[in-house]
């Protein structure tokens, strides 16, 4: 086809896990028990405080980074309190699973099989929680539930209206999650911008929530935009003023305004926002552009966000060595590196990098772990390429997940180039399938081998639809989704990378390596490094004759963290560095 971290300030509001080692063998396997450092990031619910609520809204325009901002606020508390995030989306789809990645960005898959917004990747990386599908509300889900309740007679014959029936359902949904998860802090992000008609009911529910839980238990944060037009060379606060005015019309007065801007707010602008938006200027914070999103919690803490949370909600973060570890990790990620490698990402959605957001993050995690810069080269496989020229100065290749027939032959040729030239290669989901097809064609001699997704009449369907998927016509939520366990082949490269004989990774696919061709593939040297517990599904492959040629049917990038990079990505980067060293 999406990490955990924490930060703090000198006042002491946060903690993070200890830094992972450069040694791959030292990295805990995905399925291993948490380390003692991890336990620091998994606080038990506090019974001595009522549930606290932080509601994050946005204004002016979308794409300002509400998800990252919300995750960064929660990050300041996550080492001490159980912070549970909820994302509210206005679209009528039940989930984003059937949306074009170019329109909506990456689909993030959860352990429970839920397909959710890519903001959940930020939540998991920053809050050290394993999110659930129920934590993502869409208006499609909400209306679906209202209709079911009406059909069952739950409304006792009353006229079903947007207010109060729909808003009551939204609030109860939030409160139910808080109860079930034992939350100390509920972090509610309302997608879109204030004024969007599709989000009005979420805004109204958030307004009503203050009366339900008490003003001492809720904090409203509004992220807005402060542009600096080139022709005037001055920050302009009018969009922020108008956005806040719209929010106040809906009954919510923000306690904190975060101004998205290219440089920190100057004092006149902070004063102006404070005056027109009716808040202390110390609560007008700068959400400036940063070199890495992992620096954002540090910036918020530095501007006094923890003090504001303490004043409004009566709770504190923590301090200590974890704060220093997080800061050190961020600095390691952003410093000038002595070495640099180039990794090509060969796919068909390269026009929008958000389509591969978690892959990009996983490679950033490797940058910090290996103290090397990772330069990305995007290769659109649906166009004819001179691979010899395209691959010049490329150290490694990732063929990521995808669907459909467009760009398939380009991906297969890319795999072939990597195999024949011993270029470190990682195939993810569809990328594994392309590697199997290439191997079947050019090593096993199965001319025209293909996936039945691409060619339903191929004589050698080495990749075929999962048996349980054959009768399914609807697309949404029908794939093999969520976390599945694989049994690893002893002594294989991938087993050594994970350091475990069993591995759990997340999946999102309908097609698999056809069991009828397992024997011929293995006979010709392809190693099935990991298979499903019943042995029928191939989960990991590798070519032992090459420096690094591996593939997985899973999406390991979704569990990668800044402090513990995904093993297969770490293995790829390490192999690239070794290959580069050999050439010198």
518-551: per-residue pLDDT in tens? 999 999 999 999 999 999 999 999 999 999 999 9
Terminal-to-terminal C-alpha distance of the chain: 35
CATH architecture of 338-583: 3-Layer(aba) Sandwich (3.40)
pLDDT of residue 63: 86
pLDDT of residue 515: 95
The 10 Å Cβ neighbour count of residue 299 is: 17
Q: How far apart are CA 391 and CA 344, in angstroms?
A: 8
Specify the higher pLDDT residue, 463 or 319: 463
Tell whether the model's pLDDT for residue 467 goes beyond 90: no
Domain residue ranges in the chain: 51-331, 338-583
pLDDT digit string, tens, across residues 351-380? 556 678 899 999 999 998 899 999 999 998
Distance of CA 577 to the CA centre of its chain: 26
pLDDT digit string, tens, across residues 30-39? 333 333 334 3
Counting residues of the chain whose pLDDT is more than 90, the rounded percentage is: 71
What burial class does residue 404 get, using C-beta atoms within 10 Å of its C-beta: 0-12 exposed, 13-18 middle, 19+ buried? exposed
Average pLDDT, integer, range 200-211: 98
pLDDT of residue 117: 86
Tell whether the model's pLDDT for residue 149 goes beyond 90: yes
Catalytic residue list contains 365: no
Tell whether the model's pLDDT for residue 252 goes beyond 50: yes
Catalytic residue among 88, 277, 429, 444: 429
Specify the higher pLDDT residue, 23 or 507: 507
Alpha carbon distances (Å) from 466 to 45, 394, 551: 41, 35, 18
Q: Do domains 51-331 and 338-583 have the same CATH topology?
A: yes
* Range with the poorest average pLDDT among 21-35, 289-303, 470-484, 565-579: 21-35
Indicate the pTM of the whole model. Answer: 0.84
Catalytic residue list contains 429: yes
Catalytic residue list contains 262: no
Q: How far apart are CA 291 and CA 276, in angstroms?
A: 31
Smallest Cα–Cα separation from 402: which of 461, 464, 465, 347? 347
Q: Which residue blocks in 182-282 are alpha helix, DSSP H?
A: 200-213, 238-249, 267-277
Q: Confirm if 527 and 331 have CB atoms less than 8 A apart.
A: no
Q: How far apart are CA 245 and CA 252, in angstroms?
A: 10
Tokens 């929660």 found at: 74
Tokens 């409304």 found at: 155
Catalytic residue among 106, 204, 542, 557: 557
Catalytic residue among 189, 555, 574, 576: 555
Region of residue 480 (left: phi > 0; alpha: psi -120 to 50; beta: else): beta
The phi, psi pair for 13, rounded to 5°, reads -130, 5
51-331 has which CATH code? Answer: 3.40.50.300
pLDDT digit string, tens, across residues 307-325? 999 999 999 876 544 567 7
State the pLDDT confidence band at 306, using cuts at 50, 70 and 90.
very high
511 pairs with which residues across the strands?
465
Q: How far apart are CA 550 and CA 493, in angstroms?
A: 9
pLDDT of residue 33: 31
As a whole number, the mean pLDDT across the chain is: 87
Angle at 451 between CA 449 and CA 456, to 5 degrees: 95
State the pLDDT confidence band at 8, using cuts at 50, 70 and 90.
very low
């Amino acid at each position: 086809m999406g990490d955990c971290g924490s930060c703090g300030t000198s006042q002491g509001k946060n903690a993070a896990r200890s830094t992972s080692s450069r040694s791959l063998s030292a990295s805990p396997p995905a399925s291993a028990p948490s380390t003692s450092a991890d336990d620091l990031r998994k606080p038990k619910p506090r019974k001595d405080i009522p549930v606290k609520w932080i509601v994050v809204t946005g204004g002016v325009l979308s794409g300002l980074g509400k998800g990252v901002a919300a995750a960064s606020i929660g990050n300041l508390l996550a080492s001490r309190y159980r912070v549970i995030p909820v994302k509210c989306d206005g679209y009528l789809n039940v989930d984003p699973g059937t949306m074009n990645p170019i329109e909506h960005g990456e689909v993030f898959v959860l352990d429970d099989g839920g397909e959710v917004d890519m903001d959940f990747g930020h939540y998991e990386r920053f809050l050290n929680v394993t999110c659930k599908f129920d934590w993502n509300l869409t208006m499609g889900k909400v209306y679906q539930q209202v209709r079911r309740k009406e059909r069952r007679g739950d409304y006792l014959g009353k006229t079903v209206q947007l207010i109060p029936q729909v808003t009551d359902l939204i609030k109860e949904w939030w409160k139910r999650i808080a109860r079930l998860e034992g939350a100390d802090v509920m972090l509610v992000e309302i997608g879109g911008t204030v004024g969007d008609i599709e989000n009005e009911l979420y805004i109204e529910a958030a307004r009503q929530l203050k009366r339900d839980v008490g003003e001492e238990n809720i904090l409203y944060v509004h992220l807005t935009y402060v542009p600096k037009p080139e022709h005037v060379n001055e920050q302009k606060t009018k969009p922020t003023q108008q956005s806040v005015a719209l929010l106040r019309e809906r009954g919510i007065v923000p306690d904190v305004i975060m101004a998205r801007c290219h440089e920190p707010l100057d004092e006149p602008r902070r004063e102006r926002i404070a005056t027109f938006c009716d808040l202390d200027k110390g609560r007008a914070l700068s959400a400036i552009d940063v070199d890495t999103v992992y620096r954002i919690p540090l910036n918020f803490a530095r501007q006094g966000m923890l003090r504001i949370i303490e004043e409004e909600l009566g709770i504190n973060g923590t301090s200590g060595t974890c704060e220093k570890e997080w800061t050190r990790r961020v600095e390691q990620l952003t410093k000038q590196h002595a070495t640099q490698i180039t990794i090509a990402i060969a796919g068909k959605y390269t026009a929008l990098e958000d389509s591969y957001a978690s892959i990009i993050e996983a490679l950033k995690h490797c940058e910090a772990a290996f103290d090397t810069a990772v330069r990305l080269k995007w290769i659109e496989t649906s166009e004819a390429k001179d691979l010899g020229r395209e691959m010049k100065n490329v150290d490694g290749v990732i063929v990521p997940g995808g669907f459909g027939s467009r760009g398939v032959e380009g991906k297969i040729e890319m795999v072939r180039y990597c195999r024949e030239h011993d270029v470190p290669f990682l195939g993810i989901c569809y990328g594994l399938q392309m590697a199997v097809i290439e191997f079947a064609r050019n090593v096993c001699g199965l001319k025209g081998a293909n996936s039945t997704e691409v060619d339903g009449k191929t004589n050698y369907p080495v990749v075929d639809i999962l048996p349980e998927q054959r009768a399914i016509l609807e697309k949404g939520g029908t794939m093999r989704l969520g976390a599945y366990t694989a049994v690893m082949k002893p002594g294989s490269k991938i087993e050594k990378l994970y350091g475990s004989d069993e591995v759990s990774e997340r999946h999102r696919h309908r097609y698999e390596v056809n069991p009828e061709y397992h024997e011929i593939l293995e006979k010709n040297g392809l190693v099935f490094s990991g298979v499903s517990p019943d042995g029928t599904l191939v989960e990991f492959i590798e070519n032992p004759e090459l420096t690094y040629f591996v593939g997985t049917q899973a999406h390991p990038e979704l569990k990668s963290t800044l402090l513990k990079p995904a093993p297969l990505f770490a293995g790829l980067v390490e192999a690239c560095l070794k290959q580069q060293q050999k050439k010198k």
